Structure 1
Amino acid sequence: METVVNPLATPVVRQRIESIDIIRALAVMAILLVNMGDYYANASPGHRPAPTASAVDSWSARLVDLLVLDKFHFIFAFLFGVSATILFGNMTRRGKFWAPYLRRMAILLVFGLANLVLLRAPDVLAVYALNGAVLALLFRAPQRILLTVGLVVALAGNLGTTAIALANHYGGAGIGQNSWLAAGVVVQSFGHTVLGCWAFRAGLLTDDARVPAVRKLFAVTGVATIALWAWTLSLTDADLAHVLEGNLAVVPALAYLSGLVLLLRSARLRAALRPLQSYGRMALTSYLTHAILGVALVGALASTRTIPTSVLLLLCLPIWVVQLVFSHLWLKRFAYGPFEWLWRAGTYWARP
């Protein structure tokens, strides 16, 4: 993998970065654990959430909140910023950027709206498309600007809503959620995308010289994550715990991300996880098809029976297996996943 790292320029990448594909695969797979609850709520009579009929169900739901909720959405958005930055470097090397790039974001917007409207599935693609279009204005910005914008947009809404939740719980403040804070939470994924752009340009994912910085980030966020988990597990107010686990998800998300970057420097571990690379290379197809499969499977079962939370989460396993086998077989024959092929064809107005 050949890269050129410059704090004021975008690296040019001439072949795929295996570890990024693997991390992206893990993020998309984990997001399914969160989305299954929405699939069930949409399919069940009266749009009821999955019931917690036993202690296993209660702990299953709590562990998803603790370990997964919003953590992998952060990683997915972060890696979208990485991919957009790589695309910018490669497109500008070819001499064309704005027209194909904006077409690419427009096509992603169509995919996201189709997912949202036709499947009634929770969707991030439409938001990412808009984020990517705005991110294009920052591709040549200095690193300090990227870092500042990324941190402010990513954290402002979350920290504001967290402060209100704590004031209401511990002080009985009775403060309502301000509209600007709610909007901040909605657009926080743009901050995550900007941070991905910043981190890739800084070489944190690819440059050997940056490994000590990544280790420090992992150490700090790892300790903070353990403290956060201990705090939320000690709370008896499940609603407050849910708010904290979602709003402060950036802390464990950074621990996961930096830890995976360090672990995947091992050739042995990369080889063990290489089957996930096909899934990550087809991230768009994987994301859309887990909505298709999830809605179909959960919808068929929910129409005849009640599905408790723990069983609902177990239904992720057959979906993952089908997707992993499909992505492996597909990429043995073709260079791109089916939706990736359409996306690339529309981007460049040419048959890939």
Structure 2
Amino acid sequence: MEFQSHHPVQTSDRLIAIDLIRGVALLGILIMNIQAFSMAFSAYSNPTAYGDLTGVNYYVYYVSHVFANQKFMTIFSLLFGCSIVLMADHIVKKGGNASKMHYKRMFILAVVGIAHAYLLWFGDILFPYAIAGSFAYLGRNLKARTLIILGLVFIGLSSLLMWLAGISLPHWEQAEVEAMQSLWMPTAEYIQQDLSNNRASWLGQMDSRHMMASKMQTNIIFYIPRILGLMFVGMALYKMNFFGQRFSNKSLLIAGGISFIISTIAIIVELEQNFALNWKFELMFLGIQYNYWGSILMAFSYMCFLLVFSRLNILPLLQSAITNVGRMALTNYLSHTIICCIIFYGWGFGLYGSLERIEQFAVVLAIWLFQLVFSTYWLKHYRFGPFEWVMRSLTYNSLQPLKK
């Protein structure tokens, strides 16, 4: 049977629970990303580097770090691995070449990621996902147990690399230490230059944007193993039918509750230690280990709770809206960048460095509301999100039917 390249996965084939969880993850990542869009990037990792950290701003940071930092990106990575197996199985059933289609998708995603990073915002995740996804695909036929072991090995590798970087600091060249310190705790002059760069025109911002994008990709070695490991675990969860009916609501609530309590305690202990140490430079590598592992446990707890939520007829309109956001994840992810660039950068309203953390969170809520409404409206009239449609058309070598 010859494969017809214009047959993408249809809506009826989707697992609604996965789309709902992806929707929550997509909305959730903005809680942290808004900090990188709106203020000196150092403040993302070191909250004392820039901006007011008293009163309500302190609590906004604290809560967002404990319950959002790395949690939603972890879910995103797990679901990416899940989708690799899901789409490969679908293509094979249609008689197609799953490997060819996968690597074509990863190539297109990598190109989109590079364009995203260098033309709009340096904090792109699409390029590293394309790289990790290319390697993760090699494990699609492995058993779930093997995938979990592989996943933990790669997740541990990223943790080990950061730990080794931290303990090796005394042996670094002085110039290297100073360069890293300038990112961790920037001087007033550095911050002023950063504000000037990001309040400039699109062309005026280009050198700064390209420099930051290059730094992110240079440091890819630190986080690619984690992404790859999480994709392997996501594949295993799919093969175990975790997103289906294998586990009862009671089992999911118990597992989720235990994971949530353990991870919350661990992350709070680490955060209190970091504040007690005044966020000294060594914490760049050594002060993140509890959250590194705790974020995985907390992400798992979120998925357990959301699976139960998806099974119950509670707030059906909200469930539907979040599911629509998840079905348009690529469009909504890129629209985060477009909206935030317009709000914060000089070629928009130029509010970069001007909003306190509580005001940033208000922007997050407004964007959430917009995306819930827009995604629901769009998918009433069209089969795919705008960027999903472009991605599918390029992948399948033909314009896909868009209108319902």
TM-score by length of structure 2 reads 0.73
Q: CA deviation at 1:245?
A: 5.6
Amino acid at match of 2:114: L
2:385 to 328, 337, 340: 337
Q: Do the aligned partners of 1:39 and 1:121 also contact (CA within 8 Å) in 2? A: no
Q: Do the aligned partners of 1:164 and 1:175 also contact (CA within 8 Å) in 2? A: no
Q: 1:304 to 1:139 in 2, by over 3 A?
A: closer
- Which position in structure 2 is the counterpart of 1:100? 101
- Which position in structure 1 is the counterpart of 2:292? 247
Aligned length: 330
Aligned partners of 1:304 and 1:343: how far apart in 2? 31
- Which position in structure 1 is the counterpart of 2:226? 188
Q: 1:111 to 1:238 in 2, by over 3 A?
A: farther
Aligned partners of 1:290 and 1:317: how far apart in 2? 12
Q: Does 1:120 align with 2:121?
A: yes
Q: CA deviation at 1:320?
A: 1.9
Report the 3-state secondary structure (helix = DSSP H, G, I; strand = E; otherwise coil) of the residue aligned with 1:268: coil
Q: Runs of 5+ in structure 2 lacking a partner?
A: 1-9, 42-47, 178-218
- Which position in structure 2 is the counterpart of 1:36? 34
Q: CA deviation at 1:273?
A: 1.9
Q: CA deviation at 1:154?
A: 1.6
Q: Do the aligned partners of 1:111 and 1:126 also contact (CA within 8 Å) in 2? A: yes
Q: Does 1:237 align with 2:238?
A: no
1:312 to 350, 360, 369: 360
Q: 1:209 to 1:59 in 2, by over 3 A?
A: closer
- Which position in structure 2 is the counterpart of 1:261? 307
Q: 1:160 to 1:99 in 2, by over 3 A?
A: closer
Cα deviation, 1:134-169, whole Å, max 9, x if unaligned, reads 12211112222211111111233226646986x89x
Report the 3-state secondary structure (helix = DSSP H, G, I; strand = E; otherwise coil) of the residue aligned with 1:24: helix
Amino acid at match of 2:266: L
Cα deviation, 1:199-249, whole Å, max 9, x if unaligned, reads 001111113357676455324312312321442354323535962464232
Q: Does 1:143 align with 2:181?
A: no
Report the 3-state secondary structure (helix = DSSP H, G, I; strand = E; otherwise coil) of the residue aligned with 1:203: coil
Report the 3-state secondary structure (helix = DSSP H, G, I; strand = E; otherwise coil) of the residue aligned with 2:91: helix
Report the 3-state secondary structure (helix = DSSP H, G, I; strand = E; otherwise coil) of the residue aligned with 1:120: coil
Q: Do the aligned partners of 1:25 and 1:280 also contact (CA within 8 Å) in 2? A: yes
Q: Do the aligned partners of 2:113 and 2:127 also contact (CA within 8 Å) in 1? A: yes
Amino acid at match of 1:261: L
**Share of identical aligned residues, percent?**
24
Aligned partners of 1:92 and 1:214: how far apart in 2? 31
Structure 2 counterparts to residues 18-167 of structure 1, below 5 A: 18-41=16-39, 51-52=51-52, 54-96=54-96, 97-158=98-159, 161=162
Aligned partners of 2:300 and 2:277: how far apart in 1? 26
Q: 1:147 to 1:56 in 2, by over 3 A?
A: same
Q: Do the aligned partners of 2:66 and 2:264 also contact (CA within 8 Å) in 1? A: no
Q: Do the aligned partners of 1:19 and 1:261 also contact (CA within 8 Å) in 2? A: yes
Aligned partners of 2:67 and 2:164: how far apart in 1? 22
Cα deviation, 1:23-63, whole Å, max 9, x if unaligned, reads 111111111111111112479xxxx9651163221221222
TM-score by length of structure 1 reads 0.83
Q: Do the aligned partners of 2:38 and 2:351 also contact (CA within 8 Å) in 1? A: no
Aligned partners of 2:244 and 2:352: how far apart in 1? 50
Moved more, 204-213 or 50-59: 204-213
1:223 to 242, 251, 261: 261
Q: Do the aligned partners of 2:37 and 2:352 also contact (CA within 8 Å) in 1? A: no
Aligned partners of 1:254 and 1:291: how far apart in 2? 27
Q: 1:104 to 1:92 in 2, by over 3 A?
A: same
Q: Pairwise CA RMSD of aligned residues?
A: 3.1
Cα deviation, 1:313-341, whole Å, max 9, x if unaligned, reads 22112222222222111111110001101
Aligned partners of 1:175 and 1:157: how far apart in 2? 20
